[in-house]
């Protein structure tokens, strides 16, 4: 039970921002939110993670709702290379390195 | 720095056979996790090895077993193959102690297993 809900697919235009939503309404206080993405024919790769505050890194930004029941992964300027399946993962603090993947969101980027 | 590598890339077996998949961790990583990814689905956690011992297992039967070697490379063994075992098998390495705060996982490209 992944305990996160994401849209099956989304479409974006190249060089435009993309907002990928994730619902995790049953999240507990110590659960982290992680995002991984899987490019075609590759293994998943880490994108970003956070607990309560919004987070930024070179790949993306993560906006976490104040009640922590939802979050949004933001790609500031989508490129064709960003076409992938994006997984939002709720990770309990005591889960070690185990990741529970759901179905993810398939992002398609149009030129 | 060498990334995570897996071998073979593709494999075809028949029902009832046994298979061994191999994974070389990223340099310096002491923890290896294995995942099964059926077509169109997200990866499912099989188990994790830390310093040669299994520590953490998902909802997979005992015919899925593994090993981690002193150089932290790893094997996944599956006995009595079933048709439903057809999937992409992913290996991920990381640096960290089991049960501790999270360490980013680095995935290999996977081994595509087909069971006929």
Residue of B nearest to A97 (CA): B102
pLDDT tens track for B71-92:
889 999 999 999 999 999 999 9
pLDDT tens track for A28-71:
888 899 999 999 999 999 999 999 989 999 999 999 999 999 99
For residue B99, what pLDDT band results from cuts at 50, 70 and 90?
low
H or E segment at A84? strand A84-91
DSSP summary character for residue B102: -
| Residue A104 structure tokens | 């993810």
Compare CB distances from A97 to B103, B108, B110 and report the shortest one's residue: B103
- Shortest distance between the Cα of A34 and any Cα of chain B, in A, equals 10
Distance CA B68, CA B75 (A): 7
Distance CA A12, CA B74 (A): 39
B103 pLDDT above the threshold of 80: no
A19 pLDDT above the threshold of 90: yes
Find chain A residues with C-beta within 8 A of B96's C-beta.
97
> How distant, in Å, are the alpha carbons of A9, A63, B19, B95, B109 from that of A80?
16, 23, 37, 31, 20
Residue A84 in contact with residue A40, Cβ under 8 Å? yes
- The whole-number pLDDT of residue B89 equals 98
């Amino acid at each position: 039970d992944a305990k996160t809900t994401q849209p099956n697919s989304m479409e974006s235009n190249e060089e435009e921002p993309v907002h990928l939503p994730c619902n995790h309404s049953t999240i507990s206080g110590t659960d982290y939110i992680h995002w991984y993405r899987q490019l075609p024919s590759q293994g998943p790769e880490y994108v970003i993670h956070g607990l309560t505050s919004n987070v930024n890194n070179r790949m993306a930004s993560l906006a976490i709702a104040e009640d922590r029941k939802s979050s949004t992964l933001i790609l500031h300027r989508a490129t064709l290379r960003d076409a992938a399946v994006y997984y939002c993962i709720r990770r309990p603090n005591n889960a070690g390195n185990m990741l529970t993947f759901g179905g993810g969101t398939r992002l398609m980027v149009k030129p | 720095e060498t990334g995570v590598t897996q071998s073979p890339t593709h494999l075809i077996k028949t029902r009832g056979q046994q298979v061994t998949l191999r994974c070389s961790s990223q340099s310096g990583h002491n923890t290896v996790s294995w995942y099964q990814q059926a077509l169109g689905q997200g990866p499912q956690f099989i188990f994790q090895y830390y310093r040669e011992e299994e520590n953490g297992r998902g909802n997979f039967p005992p015919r899925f077993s593994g090993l981690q070697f002193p150089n932290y490379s790893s094997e996944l063994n599956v006995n009595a193959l079933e048709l439903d075992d057809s999937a992409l098998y992913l290996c991920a390495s990381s640096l960290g102690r089991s049960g501790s705060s999270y360490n980013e996982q680095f995935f290999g490209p996977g081994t595509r297993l087909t069971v006929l």
